[in-house]
Structure 1
Amino acid sequence: EDARLLLRLRAENSALRATNARLLRWQAAARTLAAENAQLRDLLRFVPDQPVKFISARVIADSGGSFVRTMLVNAGRRDGVAKDFPVVTGDGLIGRIVETGERASRILLINDLNSRIPVVIGPNRYRAVLAGDNTNRPTALYLAATVQLKTGARIVTSGQGGVFPPGLPVGVVASTGAGGVRVETFVRTDRLDYVRILDFGLVNILDGGQAGAAALSR
């Protein structure tokens, strides 16, 4: 009798362990789906001030290349993606398109060493250039020596340079010490699954202007 009871208890224990393992797998899957849904909801929060076309894309991977801080997404020329299109999440700017394939594109992140973005800082709209240096906190360069910034001052794109439209959220001033003006970006680029690629029509305008200038020079 004791032997049968022991065998039954062992069988029940084994069944409980199997059930627990299945529940843990379902829990992990549910958490993954919840995280993806949260990122998709964040994308819906981004509402630009002007009409704009956009393409939602999933982050595939970073396959390396000539840049250090980049990522690949599963949208390319067939989806209407072109070089220099800004890329955002629901929280703010993460970078711009630097390479396009038929079905995929590469994003240069704003903290990459090759990234330079004209920005304005704070309510006084001090002009600067956000320069990536392959760290999590890029630097604001070319500020006037007399400018005094407060920690937490909001930073957005200025619109200069013709790549990024004005007003895209970038981050806040994190520190102003001997290491220069460091910026805490709004987006954690190491936790992204989905992004939104924006088409403000600036690329076509620039291309048209260059074509017109070339025609006049002939």
Structure 2
Amino acid sequence: MQTVLYKFIFGGLFIFVAWKGIDGILINIYHGELTRYDIGEFEEVEIHSERNLEISNGIPLKGNSIFYQPDRGGDIDVIYPIISSAQYDKLVQKKPINIKVFVRLDKQSPYCAEDGGCIPDAGEPIRGLVKSGFENLDFEDFKMIESELINIDKNCILIKLNEKPLIWYWNFLMLLVGMIFSITILKSFFKKASNLKEYWEKITEKDLVNK
């Protein structure tokens, strides 16, 4: 049974690697050039398809950040929202606002959770890639910071700060390696067998009969 578990784990890992390769190639083809927006202009558009962005004049809401610590006592990952000055003024006036942009910072000092020191200052340009698929957060994860005054736009995006597109051949290599190994593992689940006992032995390399 342990062999089956390992196959699922490594199969999932290589499928993820293949997906990363495909996603990277799509970014190379369609989003190789950096697209620039002012945060106020960006908030006015309902849906954005760009993946390689620079957003300027954003104001970070440090007190509404999300912190993840993959390893206890280690570095933390930080996700925080940015808004325009118009939205910020509304918030100061106790009027509800709509958040459309989140920024992700990985491997920051745990002290950032206390003072927000790792979060860029207001107005500093945000450059990076928009996350999608397996790497994006679920909408429900963003909703944890909602309140009476803060609403999360249903088309909000998550930008990985300072991440740039990989060169196309690295993406192609990830796709190739991921596909080869994931297909190899997948084929092991469909080995020909004349009965259940033989099939079990082929995929787990263990005898079905209790010892």
Q: Assess same fold via TM > 0.5.
A: no
Instruction: Determine which structure has more spread, i.e. the larger CA radius of gyration.
Output: 1
Higher relative contact order (CA 8 A, sep 6+): 2
Higher helix share: 2
Q: When you count strand as a share of all residues, which structure comes out higher? A: 1
